[in-house]
Structure 1
């Protein structure tokens, strides 16, 4: 009797992550979902089980802006699931004002970049145990509006920004996701684990929830069928299920066509990607969140 694949998804109580969770439940996966709100997790579980009554769902609770929570989440998940088949780093935030986390990071940088980096490392043993695990990192073509990347300064930048300036910060975090994917593929070569990043396109999701008119905008865009998150969910599912994407690792792929995208510089620059990895590791080690 075949065991159900174990799929870990962050940001699964709304948007892309929720849609992917529902589809993978239909395909018989055991869902391992991270959540910050018990209320939203209960709504998500009810929605999935209305469609798939036999769905197996395990929730783990924590705040992805807290590296202590991220480490704890990873440890709790790996202790319950010593083998993980898929990790989908989907959770993301586009904040329109600067907020500093308890760890001293910009909230956007913490949630969008440091959290997936650290969670992936914490789950490494369980991913390796699967033999052919897959890691999917949700990036974005917003990365092309990142300005100029400065390392390690941008990782630690907590300066205030304007509504307009928020797009540059968000773009940087998404560029870092792409660069992290590429470097991780090189470092984990030979483990059987494949890792890819993707551009989900413009989606009507929780990313814009801080806009006062976000609800009205969502209804308007849905009416005109613009920003359908189902398209973003579809490319995530293809990357984990289509055998052709398992023949390589470290790619960045586009919504719709599924074709590879050449990332904006310094994405693809091995020297900069290696520096990003080392700077990230050093920062997290100095703050006590990553072992030597």
Structure 2
């Protein structure tokens, strides 16, 4: 597990080995930890001593993931919980239950995400991709921020994608089409808008938490074959699009799941994490950022819209 240098192809295990990480006594929440880079993130954090809360859409999925992780980390301290990001009531219930445990919270890793091949509305009336990838996590962060602040030096890691640069226009988010209802539905546009929303969220969140001990970072994990498009009936086409669009400009982005989890884990454990930055390949980077990614005005606009959509009381 020990390496002398961290590179774009380092695994998450190699990252914690490099920093000789010991997370004993630390508590992390990893959304979407039942598969892919979410499960690997949870596994590696538990490997170095963290108690990891594993909220998944169903308890069965969470428990199944725990069984798999314990095959390689028998002593892992893992807590199964239920969280459906497409349902604000479920987000609130999860947060209430977690807070009732009386645990500190040192790492909140917003990893869960999806892409759909058709426009489907949630029980709250919003397009599912936007709610799961952004709004659900926005509400979750809001509900857990007091615990993060009170826990001292804590971190919020938001998993985004370089797709917000590759597939979105330079004008960024179409605020008139957040619910994908003003023009023909595009799975890629809905997904990439949600991923740019992740970046805006991280930027504005860090600004609002600047006087606390909480650090926020956003990451692009790379191009990885996971269950992201599990409900996308043209999964093979999705994979082909990734290969065609990234093959010429992002050779170092093709990764295994173990490598794909590395940047998330890096941001969770690196001693000198830079606040509010976008990380790729275990480094701060401005590669593959939409031209509007650093817009303070648009980040604040999205923040207010997100408050209204999630009915957060401010």
Counterparts of 1:58 and 1:49, CA distance in 2:
12
Q: How many residues align?
A: 277
The answer on whether the counterparts of 1:81 and 1:126 sit within 8 Å (CA) in structure 2 is no
SS in 2 for 1:134: strand
Aligned to 1:130: 151
Aligned to 2:267: 239
1:1-292 map, 5 Å? 4-144=25-165, 145-147=167-169, 148-149=171-172, 152-158=175-181, 161-162=184-185, 165-212=186-233, 214=235, 226-245=254-273, 248-254=274-280, 256-261=281-286, 263-285=289-311, 290-292=312-314
Counterparts of 1:137 and 1:16, CA distance in 2:
13
Counterparts of 1:64 and 1:151, CA distance in 2:
22
The answer on whether the counterparts of 1:75 and 1:123 sit within 8 Å (CA) in structure 2 is no
Give 1:215 deviation, angstroms.
8.3
Unaligned 5+ residue runs, structure 2?
A: 1-22, 244-252
The answer on whether the counterparts of 1:26 and 1:52 sit within 8 Å (CA) in structure 2 is yes
Counterparts of 2:65 and 2:55, CA distance in 1:
11
Give 1:227 deviation, angstroms.
4.1
Give 1:153 deviation, angstroms.
2.7
SS in 1 for 2:218: strand
SS in 1 for 2:125: coil
Counterparts of 1:134 and 1:76, CA distance in 2:
20
| C-alpha RMSD of the superposition | 2.3
Q: Which has the higher contact order (CA 8 A, sep 6+)?
A: 2
Give 1:161 deviation, angstroms.
4.3
The answer on whether the counterparts of 1:151 and 1:276 sit within 8 Å (CA) in structure 2 is no
The answer on whether the counterparts of 2:115 and 2:232 sit within 8 Å (CA) in structure 1 is no
Sort the Cα spacing of 1:82 and 1:22 in 2 relative to 1 into closer, same or farther, 3 A. closer
Sort the Cα spacing of 1:34 and 1:191 in 2 relative to 1 into closer, same or farther, 3 A. same
TM-score in terms of structure 1 length: 0.88
Structure 1 stretch 97-106 or stretch 33-42: which is displaced more? 33-42
CA deviations on 1:238-267 (whole Å, 9 max, x unpaired) are: 11111121xx3110011x252322621221
Give 1:103 deviation, angstroms.
0.6
Counterparts of 2:189 and 2:303, CA distance in 1:
21
Give 1:63 deviation, angstroms.
1.4
Sort the Cα spacing of 1:199 and 1:154 in 2 relative to 1 into closer, same or farther, 3 A. same
Sort the Cα spacing of 1:102 and 1:134 in 2 relative to 1 into closer, same or farther, 3 A. same
Higher helix proportion (structure 1 or 2)? 1
Give 1:217 deviation, angstroms.
9.4
Structure 1 stretch 258-267 or stretch 64-73: which is displaced more? 258-267
The answer on whether the counterparts of 2:63 and 2:80 sit within 8 Å (CA) in structure 1 is no
Sort the Cα spacing of 1:279 and 1:196 in 2 relative to 1 into closer, same or farther, 3 A. same
TM-score in terms of structure 2 length: 0.82
Unaligned 5+ residue runs, structure 1?
A: none
